[in-house]
Structure 1
Amino acid sequence: MSGQISMLPEGDETHWPLAILVAETPLDVDGMRAGLDMIESWLRREQPFALLLVAACGCAFQRDVAVLPMLAQRLDLVREALCRSLLGVAVVAPASALDDARRSLARLPLDMPLEVFEKGSLAVRWLCASALSPAGIIIDSL
Structure 2
Amino acid sequence: MKAATPKDDGLAMAPVSIYRSDMEDVDVLKSAIQVLRRYGFSELAGRVDVARSAVSHLARAITEVSGDQSEAAAAKTPTGDTPGARLRSLRRAARLSAEALGESAGLSAVSVRAHENGQNGIKPEVAERYAQRLGVAPSAILFGA
> TM-score when scaled to structure 1?
0.28
**Structure (1 or 2) with the greater strand fraction:** 1
> TM-score when scaled to structure 2?
0.28
- Work out which structure has the larger RCO, using CA pairs closer than 8 Å and 6 or more positions apart in sequence: 1
Q: Tell me which structure has the larger Cα radius of gyration.
A: 2
